[in-house]
Amino acid sequence: MDVENWTQPMGTAPLLLIAAGAVALLLFLIMKVRMHAFVALVLVSLLTAFVTGIPAGSITDVLLDGFAGTIASVALLVGLGVMLGRLVEVSGGAQSLADSLMRLFGERRAPLALGVASLIFGFPVFFDAGLVVMLPIVFAVARKLGGGLLRYGLPTAGAFSVMHVFVPPHPGPVAAAGLLDANVGLLLLVGLVVAIPTWILAGYLYGLWAGRRINVAIPDYISGGSEQRLDKEPPKASTVVLMLLLPIVLIAMNTVLDTLDTAGVVNGDAIWVGVLQTLGATPIALLIAVLVASLVLGIRRGRSKESLEDLLDKSLGPICSIILITGAGGMFGGVLVASGVGEALAGSLENIGLPVILAGFVVSTLIRVAQGSATVALTISATLMQPLLSAGDYSQLQVIAVVLALSAGSVMLSHVNDSGFWLVGKFFDMDVKTTLKTWTVMETLIGLIAFALAWIVYGLASFG
Q: What is the pLDDT of residue 344?
A: 62
Alpha helices in 122-270 (DSSP H): 127-145, 150-166, 171-179, 184-198, 206-213, 237-263
Report the alpha-carbon distance of residue 134 to residue 115 in Å, rounded.
10
Q: Which domain holds residue 310?
A: 70-159+230-321
237, part of any domain: yes
CB 59 within 8 A of CB 46: yes
Distance CA 29, CA 144 (A): 37
Burial class (CB in 10 A: 0-12, 13-18, 19+), 112: middle
pLDDT tens-digit map of 287-313: 998 899 899 888 888 888 888 888 888
Residue 243: inside a domain: yes
16-45 per-position pLDDT tens digit = 788 778 877 877 887 678 788 788 889 988
What's the average model confidence in pLDDT over 232-251? 79
Residue 297 near residue 91 (C-beta atoms within 8 A): yes
Q: How many domains is the chain partitioned into structurally?
A: 1
Section 183-205 average pLDDT: 88
Query: What are residue 278's phi and psi, to 5 degrees?
Result: -65, -45
Residue 181 and residue 399 in contact, taking contact as beta carbons nearer than 8 Å: yes
Residue 314 lies in a domain: yes
Selection from 230, 235, 302, 241 nearest residue 96 by Cα: 235
CA 325, 170, 393: angle at the middle one, nearest 5? 125
d(CA 129, CA 183): 27
Q: Identify whether 451 is part of a domain.
A: no
Residue 310 lies in a domain: yes
Residue 224 identity (one-letter amino acid):
G
The most distant pair of C-alpha atoms in the chain lies apart, rounded to whole Å, by 69
Distance in angstroms (rounded) separating the CA atoms of residues 372 and 336: 9
The answer to whether the beta carbons of residues 366 and 349 sit under 8 Å apart is yes
CA 311 – CA 315 distance, rounded (Å): 6
Domain annotation covers residue 242: yes
Instruction: Look at 259 and 68; give whichever has higher pLDDT.
Output: 68
Q: Mean pLDDT, to the nearest integer, of 352-367? A: 81
Dihedral (CA of 67, 73, 74, 78) sign: positive
Alpha-carbon span 178 to 180, nearest angstrom:
6
Amino acid identity of residue 387, one-letter, is P
| Confidence check: pLDDT of 391 > 80 | no
Does residue 460 lie in a domain region?
A: no
Integer Cα distance of 358 and 95 in angstroms: 46
User: Which pTM does this prediction carry?
Assistant: 0.67
Is residue 220 within 8 Å of 226, Cβ to Cβ?
yes
326 part of a folded domain: no
The dihedral over CA atoms of 373, 375, 377, 381, expressed in degrees to the nearest 10, equals: -170
Q: Which residue has the higher pLDDT, 51 or 91?
A: 51
Cα 389 → chain centroid: 28
